[in-house]
A and B are shown apart, each in its own frame.
Chain A
Amino acid sequence: MALIDVTLPKWGMTMQEGTVQEWLKQVGDTVSDGDVIAEVETEKAVGEVEAPADGTLAEILVEAGATVLVGTVLARVEDGG
């Protein structure tokens, strides 16, 4: 089992940061690879952050309402492998 970082992707060439709108999963929830676990607002649209693996949402590092740079670790998923 390993902890996998969930980072804020760079959704567009000019994107610098995003504001977390809502966590759709809570710490302890089971997630599947590709599940949308958070919504993040940028200047263009609200994007969906996906779980990078099957497992459990282990940590949430950036709360809703916070604005962070592209590449920031938003959460960690403990994978089931």
Chain B
Amino acid sequence: MSEDRELYFVRAMYEGLREAMLEDETVVVLGEDVDRSIIGATKGLIEEFGEPRVRNTPISEATFCGACVGAAAVGLRPVVDLMVGSFFYVAMDQVANQAAKLPYMSGGQVELPIVYFTATGPSGSAAAQHSENPHPMLMNVGGLKVVMPSTPADAKGLMLSAIRDPNPVVYMQDAVLGGIKGPVPEGPHEVPLGVAEVKREGSDVTVVAIGALVRQALAVADALEEEGISVEVVDPRTLVPLDEETILASVRKTGRVVVCDNAKLTCSAASEIAAMIAEKAFDALQAPPRRVAWENTPVPFSPVLEERVLVSRDDIRHAVLATVGGRVPGAA
């Protein structure tokens, strides 16, 4: 890269999609209003690739998520825009029972290279039925890979990798990240699935953060640095398959860990990661792993209540301080 090229996150997703469509004519895009793009990731594709390859669908998640299964089974690589993470619940049979299970149940006779992508999670008073983050549930389905980028560069790289992957992949774009900007490499930039990234090095405590919370964790880390606490921030990037090695290496280095998930607490990705750490790195831990996640309630419409339910920077900060035990490492 000769110079830093800053793109919006959703336009980085578009670039990843476009690279995949350029290199492989079997890649097709479906979804509601993908021609004009409600969220922004498919805007421009129909003009370049034409209507058979970019197809608007009726408002029926079961129909278009299920259509991907058939399309993939006969040789296409469908990429679907669900638009809202909550809508996975509507598509669940087609995604969880069909897409996720048929390759296994057919003994590998059918390969289903599908990407289900969506804006997901809260976006500011979108209310309970448009604010869910279902990645924990989808991690548990078995047969689905799950990715959740936190930067525009990762957004492009994971989109391209997800489409190239022969398995069904769920691609979660935290809704609030769509408008963030960041440097994005030109061309077919790929970020491998199953590889985490240390977004910030530190030595006193590891914060594993997911999706939109990576930026919040980095901000908290910067503030704590001023107070003498050195925080390492690890971004899993892929939730299934999880890069356990990178996470465990960080925990063995720092001895303390806080896992922050942009989802409800019960059975969250944070719960899975914390349990995995406790099982595999207990000897290295100086304190129990802590989870930071939403209250186990529907996400409120009221802005005041919504803020109360979701994860704030203060929540992350308090968990980190509690994990270092009130002692401020590095201070006199």
**B37 in the interface (beta carbon within 8 A):** yes
Q: Which residues of A have CB within 8 Å of B310?
A: none
3 closest A-B pairs by CB: A43-B8, A44-B40, A43-B179
**B199 in the interface (beta carbon within 8 A):** no
> A14 vs B84: C-alpha distance in the bound complex, in angstroms?
10
CB-contacts of A36-62 with B (<8 A): 42-45
Q: Distance (Å) between the CB of B212 and the closest chain A CB?
A: 10
> B130 contacts which of A13, A45, A70 (Cβ < 8 Å)?
A13
A-B contact pairs, 22 of them (CB 8 A): A10-B124, A12-B39, A13-B38, A13-B84, A13-B123, A13-B126, A13-B130, A14-B175, A14-B176, A14-B179, A15-B123, A15-B178, A16-B123, A16-B176, A42-B179, A43-B8, A43-B9, A43-B10, A43-B11, A44-B39, A44-B43, A70-B124
Interface centre among A14, A44, A45 (most CB of B within 10 A): A14
> Is A14 within 8 A of B123, CB to CB?
yes
Q: Distance (Å) between the CB of A58 and the closest chain B CB?
A: 28
Q: Which residues of B have CB within 8 Å of A14?
A: 39, 119, 123, 175-176, 178-179
Proximity bits, B121-145, A CB within 8 Å = 1, else 0: 0011010001000000000000000
> Is A44 within 8 A of B10, CB to CB?
yes
Q: Which residues of B have CB within 8 Å of A13?
A: 38, 84, 119, 123, 126, 130, 175
Which B residues have a C-beta under 8 Å from some C-beta of A?
8-11, 37-40, 43, 84, 119, 123-124, 126, 130, 175-176, 178-179
A interface, by DSSP: helix, strand, loop or mixed? loop
Query: Given A42-B179, A43-B9, A44-B43, does the pair A16, B37 have CB atoms closer than 8 Å?
Result: no
Q: Which residues of A have CB within 8 Å of B43?
A: 44-45
Q: Distance (Å) between the CB of A50 and the closest chain B CB?
A: 21
> A42 vs B178: C-alpha distance in the bound complex, in angstroms?
9
CB-contacts of A1-53 with B (<8 A): 10, 12-17, 42-45
A17 (CB) vs chain B CBs: closest residue: B179
Query: Given A13-B123, A16-B124, does the pair A43, B176 have CB atoms closer than 8 Å?
Result: no
> A16 vs B119: C-alpha distance in the bound complex, in angstroms?
13
> A12 vs B9: C-alpha distance in the bound complex, in angstroms?
15
A14-B179, A70-B124 are known; give 12 further A-B pairs, CB within 8 A: A13-B123, A13-B126, A14-B123, A14-B176, A16-B124, A16-B176, A16-B178, A43-B8, A43-B178, A44-B10, A45-B40, A45-B43
Q: Which residues of A have CB within 8 Å of B9?
A: 43
Q: Which residues of B have CB within 8 Å of A16?
A: 123-124, 176, 178-179
> A13 vs B179: C-alpha distance in the bound complex, in angstroms?
12
Q: Distance (Å) between the CB of A19 and the closest chain B CB?
A: 9
> A13 vs B122: C-alpha distance in the bound complex, in angstroms?
10
> A42 vs B119: C-alpha distance in the bound complex, in angstroms?
16
